[in-house]
């Protein structure tokens, strides 16, 4: 069976520094994969390569049976490959409702319309409200994003990705910067992701990783050093070494 | 709890507030237009020039205020409209005001497309430099093609016929003024629709974070280029109006100075709002007129001082700051 999403022998170096070393992985519909590794391991770079925000030195990226290595970032999004950002990237002067409306309009090919307003398009508004409701953001729908708490901005990042109805979703540390007391809400949001969506999540919080992922890949200095079940990852000697010590450090890195 | 209830209740209001806002804006333009007509009957030429410039400043607002592209070459779009409308009349006998306006709009659109294709290749400072290069190229082209444009003598022989076959372009400039006011109103209403449309929202997204826009699958370049063309139509109409009302077109309509001054007007009024563009144009040109009459030697100093004051004390511009104040007062009461 051809996997939904596959990366073969991806390589990238910045100057002399190899940040991605022959990384290969594939995802099928419904997969829940966690990509972990110490700071600077090359996790975000991997996402950037896969989404087309960076060009790899070599290797291929395939999506739904097509080679997309030479496709630009927006074409990949249109083919169903969507990401979130480690540091929130939102439109700070716009409201959550506008964010989601824009995403829905864009997905439907209506974002170029020069007359009419999304508020008057019931099919758009219904979907926007459903997603806001799903993530518990309905009450904030008319506030400017810069006025809402960071944890809620993180939720909006996830909402925005969902509104694009991806086939493959890459989440770069969805709980980064969120106070411990609020990570539960992020986790609830992750639980609500469509079951057939293939998800790759980068995360430092090992508790979250254990609850979410059925498979874990560990990246260290750009190289995959572990690919297996969450149960085995903490026992692996190379993983322990990569994190300079014990799993206790892995946990506290969050 | 109470706060969140008010927010939810207010949810339905923005739509209605938008429409009321537009109506107030339209009414304001008409009323101010009429007041201007009766208050300065001997100065209608100046008022028409303000309207033509306002169209240019609105056009800059579309790319700078709404999309975040800073440009010092936008008079290229205005000048293209002015020369095209002027040449149509002087060389081809196309002198119907509506047709001349159309020719100006088309030429503006083409100039917008051309300068957009050049300017949008770069970002940041190099982009600004490219925009300066563009206006100089346009200026030089118009200067060299003197058999068409009259070169540095300017293009004369522009003779628009009666508007709708009824209203001659009179010596006092009444027809030109009223036609200009009508054009401004139509453009303003259409732009209000545009900036509230999905495309307008997309453009604001591009200004705030282009990377996020492409992560949503939209093409930043295509948004910017489309906006450049629309902006060209608006500036081109302004240029055509200027050609019809003054009946000459000079190289100054295609100059770096006009580009820079109109950007200053936009910043003075406040970027990213159509009202800001109008307020900025009217206040700058009015101030310039008054101060240059009162003190012909130091008026530029005064204009400079005004600008510094606005940038330091009202960084969102005159309209932007006033709007924020009103917002805060309203918020305080609720
Ligand atoms: N554009 C760039 N130019 C040069 N070096 C870069 C660039 N982007 C990333 N790097 C380097 O590549 C390495 C991997 O960075 P990356 O952001 O992918 O790490 P990461 O695994 O996501 O780390 P973190 O857990 O801190 O987010 C780092 O050493 C970083 O300094
Ligand atoms: Mg990272």
Report pLDDT digits (tens) over B76-97: 999 999 999 999 998 898 889 9
> What is residue A168's predicted lDDT score, i.e. its pLDDT?
95
Which helix (H) or strand (E) covers residue A137, if one does? Answer: none
In testing the pocket of ligand 1, which one of A37, A45, A173 has its CB within 8 Å of the most ligand atoms?
Answer: A45
Report whether pLDDT(B15) > 70: no
Distance from CA of B237 to the nearest CA of A (A): 19
The better pLDDT of the pair B154, B82 is held by: B82
Q: Find which of B215, B222, B225, B327 to mutate to test the A interface (most A CBs within 10 Å of its CB).
A: B215
Residues B268-282, mean pLDDT to the nearest whole number: 92
**CB contact set of A151 (below 8 Å; sequence gap of 6+):** A178, A179, A182, A185, A186
Average confidence score pLDDT of chain B: 88
Give me the residue from B8, B209, B214 closest to A73, CB to CB: B214
> How far away, in angstroms, is A43 Cα from ligand 2 center?
5
User: Which residue's alpha carbon is nearest to atom 30 within ligand 1?
Assistant: A40
Residues B304-326, mean pLDDT to the nearest whole number: 86
> What is residue B311's predicted lDDT score, i.e. its pLDDT?
82
Q: What residues does A202 pair with on adjacent strands?
A: A35, A172
Q: How far is residue B33's CA from residue B51's CA, in Å, rounded to a whole number?
A: 10
Q: How far is residue B219's CA from residue B204's CA, in Å, rounded to a whole number?
A: 13
Using alpha carbons, select from A225, A224, A212, A230 the residue that is nearest to residue A171. Answer: A212
User: Which residue's alpha carbon is nearest to atom 31 within ligand 1?
Assistant: A40
Pairing of strands A58-63, A32-36: unpaired
Which helix (H) or strand (E) covers residue A176, if one does? Answer: none
Distances, alpha carbon A1 to alpha carbons A9, A29, B225, in Å:
20, 12, 42
Q: Find which of B10, B19, B198 to mutate to test the A interface (most A CBs within 10 Å of its CB).
A: B198
Boundaries of every domain in chain A: 5-90+158-244, 94-143
> What is residue A244's predicted lDDT score, i.e. its pLDDT?
58
Distance from CA of A113 to the nearest CA of B (A): 5
Chain A 175-214, residues with CB within 8 Å of chain B CB atoms: none
Flag the least confident range among B153-157, B193-197, B203-207.
B153-157
The SS3 assignment for A146 reads helix
Report whether pLDDT(B16) > 70: no
> What is residue B14's predicted lDDT score, i.e. its pLDDT?
54
* Prediction pTM value: 0.88
Q: How far is residue B277's CA from residue B282's CA, in Å, rounded to a whole number?
A: 9
DSSP state of A179: -
Pairing of strands A223-228, A215-220: antiparallel
Confidence band, pLDDT 50/70/90 cuts, at residue B137 = very high
Confidence band, pLDDT 50/70/90 cuts, at residue B301 = confident
Beta carbons of A23 and A216 less than 8 angstroms apart? no
**CB contact set of A130 (below 8 Å; sequence gap of 6+):** none
Neighbours of B249 (CB within 10 A): 29
Which token pair is A218? 């560990």
Q: What is the mean pLDDT of each run of 10 residues along chain A (254 residues)?
A: 84 89 92 91 93 92 90 92 93 95 94 91 93 91 91 92 94 89 88 92 89 91 88 81 56 42
Report whether pLDDT(B37) > 80: yes
Report whether pLDDT(B187) > 90: yes
> What is residue B1's predicted lDDT score, i.e. its pLDDT?
36
> What is residue B48's predicted lDDT score, i.e. its pLDDT?
94
State the sign of the Cα–Cα–Cα–Cα dihedral A183, A188, A192, A196. positive
Distance from CA of B190 to the nearest CA of A (A): 9
Confidence band, pLDDT 50/70/90 cuts, at residue B18 = low
Inform me whether the C-beta atom of residue A54 falls under 8 Å from chain B C-beta atoms: no
> What is residue A77's predicted lDDT score, i.e. its pLDDT?
94
Inform me whether the C-beta atom of residue B225 falls under 8 Å from chain A C-beta atoms: no
Q: How would you write chain B as a 3-class SS string? A: CHHHHHHHHHCCHHHHHHHHHHHHHHHHHHHHHHHHHHHCHHHHHHHHHHHHHHHHHHHHHHHHHCCCCCCCCCHHHHHHHHHHHHHHHHHHCCCCHHHHHHHHHHHHHHHHHHHHHHHCCCCHHHHHHHHHHHHHHHHHHHHHCHHHHCHHHCECCCCCCCECCCECCCCCCHHHHHHHHHHHHHHHHHHHHHHHCHHHHHHHHHHHCHHHHHHCCCCHHHHHHHHHHHHHHHHHHHHHHHHHHHCCECHHHHCHHHHHHHHHHHHHHCCCCHHHHHHHHHHHHHHHHHHHHHCCCCHHHHHHHHHHHHHHHCCCHHHHHHHHHHHHHHHHHC
Inform me whether the C-beta atom of residue B209 falls under 8 Å from chain A C-beta atoms: yes
Using alpha carbons, select from B48, B39, B60, B76 the residue that is nearest to residue B182. Answer: B48
> What is residue B310's predicted lDDT score, i.e. its pLDDT?
85
Cβ–Cβ of B8/A83 closer than 8 Å? no
Report whether pLDDT(B133) > 60: yes
Q: Which CATH number fits domain A5-90+158-244: 3.40.50.300, 2.40.170.20, 2.60.120.10, 2.40.50.140?
A: 3.40.50.300
The better pLDDT of the pair B114, B296 is held by: B114
């Amino acid at each position: 069976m051809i996997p939904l999403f596959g990366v073969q022998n991806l390589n990238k170096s910045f100057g002399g520094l190899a940040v991605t070393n022959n990384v290969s992985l594939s995802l099928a519909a419904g997969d829940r994969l966690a990509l972990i590794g110490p700071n600077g391991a090359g996790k975000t770079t991997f996402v950037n390569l896969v989404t087309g925000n960076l060009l790899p030195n070599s290797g291929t990226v395939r999506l739904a049976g097509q080679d997309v290595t030479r496709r630009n970032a927006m074409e990949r999004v249109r083919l169903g490959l969507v990401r979130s950002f480690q540091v929130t990237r939102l439109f700070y002067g716009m409201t959550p409702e506008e964010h989601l409306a824009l995403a829905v309009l864009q997905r439907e090919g209506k974002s170029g319309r020069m007359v009419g307003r999304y508020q008057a398009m019931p099919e758009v508004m219904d979907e926007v409200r459903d997603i806001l409701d799903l993530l518990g953001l309905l009450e904030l729908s008319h506030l400017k994003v810069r006025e809402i708490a960071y944890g809620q901005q993180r939720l909006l990042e996830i909402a925005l990705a969902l509104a694009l109805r991806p086939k493959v979703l890459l989440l770069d540390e969805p709980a980064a910067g969120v106070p411990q007391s609020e990570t539960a809400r992020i986790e609830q949001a992750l639980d609500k992701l469509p079951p057939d969506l293939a998800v790759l999540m980068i995360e430092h919080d090992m508790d979250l990783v254990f609850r979410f992922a059925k498979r874990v890949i560990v990246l260290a200095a750009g190289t995959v050093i572990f690919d297996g079940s969450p149960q085995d990852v903490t026992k692996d000697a190379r993983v322990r070494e990569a994190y300079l010590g014990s799993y206790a450090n892995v946990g506290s890195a969050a | 709890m109470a706060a969140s209830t008010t927010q939810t209740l207010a949810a339905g209001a923005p739509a209605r507030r938008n429409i009321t806002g537009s109506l107030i804006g339209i009414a304001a333009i008409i009323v101010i237009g009429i007041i201007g007509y009766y208050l300065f009957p001997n100065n209608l030429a100046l008022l028409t020039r303000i309207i033509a410039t306002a169209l240019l400043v609105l056009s800059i607002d579309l790319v700078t205020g709404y999309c975040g592209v800073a440009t010092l070459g936008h008079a290229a779009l205005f000048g293209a409209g002015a020369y095209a409308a002027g040449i149509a009349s002087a060389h081809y006998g196309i002198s119907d005001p509506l047709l001349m306006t159309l020719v100006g709009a088309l030429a503006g659109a083409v100039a917008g497309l051309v300068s957009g294709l050049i300017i949008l290749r770069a970002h940041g400072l190099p982009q600004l430099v490219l925009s300066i290069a563009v206006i100089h190229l346009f200026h030089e082209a118009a200067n060299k093609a003197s058999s068409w444009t009259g070169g540095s003598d300017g293009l004369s022989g522009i003779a628009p016929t009666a508007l709708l076959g009824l209203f001659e372009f009179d010596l006092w400039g009444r027809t030109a003024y009223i036609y200009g006011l009508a054009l401004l109103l139509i453009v303003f209403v259409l732009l209000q629709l545009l900036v509230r449309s999905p495309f307008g929202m997309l453009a604001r997204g591009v200004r705030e974070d282009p990377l996020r826009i492409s992560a949503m699958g939209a093409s930043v370049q295509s948004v910017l280029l489309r906006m450049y063309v629309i902006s060209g139509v608006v500036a081109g109409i302004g240029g055509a109006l200027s050609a019809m009302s003054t009946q000459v077109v000079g190289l100054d309509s295609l100059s770096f100075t006009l580009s820079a001054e109109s950007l200053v007007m936009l910043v003075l009024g406040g970027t990213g709002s159509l009202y800001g563009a109008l307020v900025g144009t009217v206040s700058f040109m009015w101030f310039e007129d008054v101060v240059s009459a009162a003190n012909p030697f130091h008026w530029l100093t005064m204009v400079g001082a005004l600008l510094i004051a606005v940038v330091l004390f009202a960084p969102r511009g005159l309209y932007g700051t006033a709007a924020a104040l009103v917002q805060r007062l309203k918020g305080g009461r609720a």
